[in-house]
Chains A and B, each alone.
Chain A
Amino acid sequence: MSALSLRQAGYAYPAGAGVGPVSLEVEAGEIVLLAGPTGSGKSTLARLAAGLVQRHGKGAPRGEVRVVGVEPHTASPGELVGLVGFVAQEAGDQIVASTLGEEIGLALARWEPGARAARVAEVLREVGLPEEPGRGTGALSLGQQQRLVLGAAIAPRPAVLILDEPLSQVDPAGAEALVALLRRIAGAGTAVLWVEHRLDRALAGADRVVLLDQGAIRWEGPCQEAPLPLLRELGLELPALRALDEGLAAAGLAAGGLAARWRGWRPPLAPLGAVLREEEGLRWSWGPGTALEVQALSLRAGERVALLGGNGAGKSTLLRLLAGELGRGRPHARTQSVPQEPDLTLFCATVGEELAYGPREARRRDALDRVRVVSEALGLLPLAHRPPPSLSRGQRQRVAVGAALTCTPTVLLLDEPTSGQDLAGVERILDALEGALSDGALLFATHDVDLALRRATRLLLLDRGRLVWEGTPAQALAAPPSGLRLPPLAERCRAWGLPYLEPAALLRGQP
Chain B
Amino acid sequence: MSEPRLKLLLVGCVGLLAVTLERPGSLALLALAGAVALIRVPASRPYWGRGALVVGAAVWGTVLSQGLFYAEHPRVALLSVGPLSLYREGALYGLVQSLRMIAVSLAGLGLVVSTPRDQLLRGLMGLGLPSGLAFMVMTALHFLPDTVREALEVRRARARRGRPVWQRSPWAWLALELSLLRPVVARLIRRARTLAESLDARGFDPLRVEARAPWGGSPGAWALTLAACAGTALLVGARLIFLAYTSGLAWFPALRPLYGWVRAWM
Contacts and interface: CB of A to CB of B under 8 A. Distances in A.
Contact of A345 (B160, B163, B197, B202): B160
A84 B201 contact: yes
Given A88-B197, A96-B117, A98-B116, A77 B205 contact: yes
Interface in B119-152: 119, 121
Interface in B164-207: 180, 182-183, 186-187, 190-191, 193-206
Interface in B202-254: 202-206, 208
A343 B163 contact: no
Given A109-B208, A343-B190, A357 B160 contact: no
Nearest to B204: A77
Interface in B71-105: none
Interface in A330-358: 331, 336-337, 343-349, 357-358
Nearest to B43: A138
B49 interface: no
Contacts of B156: 325
Contacts of A32: none
A88 B198 contact: yes
B255 interface: no
Contacts of A103: 118
Interface in A76-128: 76-78, 80-82, 84-86, 88, 90, 93-94, 96-99, 102-103, 106-107, 109-110
Contacts of B186: 387, 389
A78 B205 contact: yes
Given A52-B197, A94-B195, A98-B118, A347 B157 contact: yes
Interface stretch (A12-20, A148-156, A298-306): A148-156
B158 A97 contact: no
B42 interface: no
Contacts of B199: 96, 106
Given A52-B201, A97-B116, A348 B183 contact: yes
B200 A56 contact: yes
A93 B195 contact: yes
A47 interface: yes
A459 interface: no
B154 interface: yes
A3 to B, nearest CB: 16
B257 interface: no
Contacts, number: 118
Interface residues of A, number: 53
A152 B202 contact: yes
A345 B118 contact: no
B153 A344 contact: yes
Contacts of B161: 336, 357-358, 361, 403-404, 407
B202 A344 contact: no
Contacts of A407: 161-162
A55 B200 contact: yes
A170 interface: no
A93 B191 contact: yes
Contacts of A404: 160-161
Contacts of A85: 201
Nearest to B194: A93
Contacts of A76: 205
A331 B160 contact: yes
B205 A94 contact: no
A343 B187 contact: yes
A486 B84 CA distance: 76
B159 interface: yes
A94 to B, nearest CB: 4
A389 B117 contact: no
A437 interface: no
Nearest to B153: A344
A389 B182 CA distance: 12
Interface string A138-181: 00000000000100110010000000000000000000000000
A334 to B, nearest CB: 10
Nearest to A53: B197
Contacts of A97: 116-118
A84 B118 CA distance: 22
Contact of B202 (A107, A337, A343, A361): A107
17 contacts: A77-B206, A96-B117, A96-B118, A96-B195, A97-B118, A99-B118, A106-B118, A106-B202, A107-B203, A109-B205, A149-B198, A323-B160, A346-B157, A346-B183, A347-B182, A347-B183, A362-B162
- Sorted nearest first, the 8 A-B pairs with minimum C-beta distance are A81-B203, A98-B116, A347-B183, A361-B162, A94-B198, A77-B205, A86-B201, A107-B202
Interface of A: 47, 50, 52, 55-56, 76-78, 80-82, 84-86, 88, 90, 93-94, 96-99, 102-103, 106-107, 109-110, 149, 152-153, 156, 323, 325, 331, 336-337, 343-349, 357-358, 361-362, 387, 389, 403-404, 407
Interface of B: 116-119, 121, 153-154, 156-163, 180, 182-183, 186-187, 190-191, 193-206, 208
Given A81-B203, A361-B161, 4 more contacts: A106-B202, A343-B190, A347-B182, A362-B162
